[in-house]
Amino acid sequence: MSAQERQAWTIRGARVLGGEVRDLYVSDGVFVDEAVSGARVVEADGLIALPGLVDLHTHLREPGREDAETVLTGTRAAAAGGYTAVHAMANTDPVADTAGVVEQVWRLGREAGYCDVQPVGAVTVGIAGERLAELGAMADSAARVRVFSDDGHCVSDAALMRRALEYVKAFGGVVAQHAQEPRLTEGAQMNEGEVSSVLGLRGWPAVAEEAIIARDVLLAAHTGSRLHVCHLSTAGSVELVRWAKSKGYPVTAEVTPHHLLLTDELVRGYDPVYKVNPPLRTAEDVAAVRAGLADGTIDVVATDHAPHPVEAKDCEWAVAAMGMLGLETALSVVQHTMVETGLLDWAGVADRMSVRAAVIGSLEGHGRPLESGEPANLTLLDPAASRVIEPNALYSRSRNTPYAGLKLPGAVHATFLRGAATVLDGKVIDR
């Protein structure tokens, strides 16, 4: 254990999960009952203590797109956002479809040390949607992959999706589907609706997401295997997942922070910072996903943090890349859209941004109660602070945040990864 990890801590007067005010004591990487001598003190009066956040959906871009982000810069951004674990999606270059690549990503995460990196394995070779990748090898590797996803692309072939769902049962895996019927979304640029018809941009209809979800929840039921729905974005999708859960089907779902807040009206200025997949939807969809997250139909908030280099967004809409940054603003957006509106309390935030994600990802040591004996993965949030989002002040290597200039509530005060402080006083601690 490094010197940083051996540091003991006394966190004084935090509101644990927004409720009871008490002190927390950390020693040798776990929570303990009493203060330890030599412990550094963090005055946490007024701060909310949450289990370290867990992201089920992050793009760290390494290997292959290090101009946009690396495991190092991405995990620093994650720590700044209060995260202690992120699931790194497989659409890298080369694709993470072998034990070799997933182990490389896992190792890069450990070496950087800011946040646990749990690699996601691709479902198909090269994410080409044709043949299954060596899912077993990835599961058995040092990276211990449990979440498999072709994210970026949909596993649209029904037979292939069925086989994938069946196959991962052998090692307790879960298939995370990017629901997008390719034939209904060829050349699609933004949500299909009133705005797209006026702007002359090809539409991405809600049915293209919902049709795949409808099929997949039935396949999950038929195979008895777990399905996780990535970045769900429409009211119809929420209803489908609610129905599936009511039938007891093994389905979980995630929503991104941006789909909790932003709508397709923002596209009217043709600014590609708002170009994302799935696209920003209507106000009705935003209301529905908020309600879905509040009642637990949607299990987790997952950032889909998608860094892009400047030139990929500094151009015409049609040629711009799809994706938005999310790690450093997720907690603030959730506070703004869910806590301040009374839809979710802080205990609920802990559940949707940490506990359930760890369960779905079979991630040990994360999303645990803040109790003696548990690993000290902890986030301290100052809910009374606020900040104006400044792209150049972000820890991410990229700048494509849709919240530039926006004032958002809350600021991460400290993040602890197994007892080591990765963030203190709102700043990332260099390792």
Partner 1 sequence: MKHHLLSTADLSADDATLILDTAGELARLADRPIKKLPTLRGRTVVNLFFEDSTRTRISFETAAKRLSADVINFSAKGSSVSKGESLKDTALTLEAMGADAVIVRHWASGGAHRLAHAGWIRSAVVNAGDGTHEHPTQALLDAYTLRSRLGSLEGRRVGIVGDVLHSRVARSNVHLLSTLGAEVTLVAPPTLMPFAIESWPCSYSYELDPVLPKLDAVMMLRVQRERMDQAFFPTEREYSRRYGLHADRMAALPEHAVVMHPGPMNRGLEISAEVADSARSTITEQVANGVSVRMAVLYLLLGGSEPAIGTENDEGGAR
Please identify, using beta-carbon distances, which residue of 254 and 264 lies nearer to partner 1.
Answer: 264
From candidates 41, 142, 170, 318, binder to partner 1 by CB under 8 A:
318
Pairing, β 251-255 against β 300-301: parallel
Report the nearest approach of partner 1 to the CB of residue 188 (Å): 12
Map tokens 């691709």 to a residue. 122
Q: Is 161 exposed, middle or buried (0-12, 13-18, 19+ CB in 10 A)?
A: buried
Annotate 223-256 with b (16+ C-beta within 10 A) or e (fewer). bebbbbbbbbbbbbbbebbbebbeeebbbbbbbb
From candidates 38, 248, 342, 405, binder to partner 1 by CB under 8 A:
405
Q: Is-contact 278 263, C-beta < 8 A?
A: no
Q: Which of 45, 304, 351, 425 is catalytic?
A: 304
Map tokens 């003696």 to a residue. 372
CA atoms of 196 and 368, how far apart (whole Å): 44
From candidates 319, 392, 425, 430, binder to partner 1 by CB under 8 A:
319
Q: Which stretch binds partner 1 (CB under 8 A): 58-66, 194-202, 230-238, 371-379?
A: 194-202
From candidates 36, 39, 125, 199, binder to partner 1 by CB under 8 A:
199
Report the nearest approach of partner 1 to the CB of residue 393 (Å): 16
Report the nearest approach of partner 1 to the CB of residue 282 (Å): 10
x/- letters, 152..191, toward partner 1 (CB under 8 A): -------------------------------------x--
Retrieve residue 70's tokens.
């690396």
Please identify, using beta-carbon distances, which residue of 165 and 276 lies nearer to partner 1.
Answer: 276
**Number of chain residues interacting with partner 1 (CB under 8 A):** 28
x/- letters, 259..278, toward partner 1 (CB under 8 A): -------x-xxxx-xx----
Distances (CA, A) of 211 to 30, 130, 186, 214: 45, 20, 15, 5
Nearest C-alpha neighbor of 259 from the set 281, 237, 277:
281
DSSP 125: G
From candidates 404, 424, 426, 429, binder to partner 1 by CB under 8 A:
404
Distance linking the first and last C-alpha atoms of the chain:
13
From candidates 94, 317, 345, 387, binder to partner 1 by CB under 8 A:
317
Q: Which stretch binds partner 1 (CB under 8 A): 27-35, 128-136, 210-218, 308-316?
A: 308-316
**Which residues, at least 6 apart from 86, have a Cβ–Cβ distance to it below 8 Å?**
54, 55, 58, 60, 74, 75, 78, 115, 116, 117, 118, 305, 327
Report the nearest approach of partner 1 to the CB of residue 272 (Å): 8
Please identify, using beta-carbon distances, which residue of 33 and 316 lies nearer to partner 1.
Answer: 316
Report the nearest approach of partner 1 to the CB of residue 271 (Å): 5
Q: Is-contact 96 122, C-beta < 8 A?
A: yes
Give the chain's length: 431
Please identify, using beta-carbon distances, which residue of 222 and 407 lies nearer to partner 1.
Answer: 407
Contact call for residue 407 and partner 1 (CB under 8 A): no
From candidates 157, 295, 311, 371, binder to partner 1 by CB under 8 A:
311
Please identify, using beta-carbon distances, which residue of 199 and 221 lies nearer to partner 1.
Answer: 199
Retrieve residue 270's tokens.
């043709």
CA atoms of 352 and 161, how far apart (whole Å): 27
Please identify, using beta-carbon distances, which residue of 188 and 220 lies nearer to partner 1.
Answer: 188
What are the phi and psi torsion angles at 154 (to 5°)? -100, 140
Please identify, using beta-carbon distances, which residue of 269 and 373 lies nearer to partner 1.
Answer: 269
Report the nearest approach of partner 1 to the CB of residue 410 (Å): 22
Report the nearest approach of partner 1 to the CB of residue 235 (Å): 16
CA atoms of 177 and 184, how far apart (whole Å): 17
Give catalytic status of residue 23 as yes or no: no
For binding to partner 1 (CB under 8 A), which residues are involved?
A: 189, 192-194, 196-201, 203, 205, 266, 268-271, 273-274, 311, 314-319, 404-405
Annotated active-site positions, please? 304
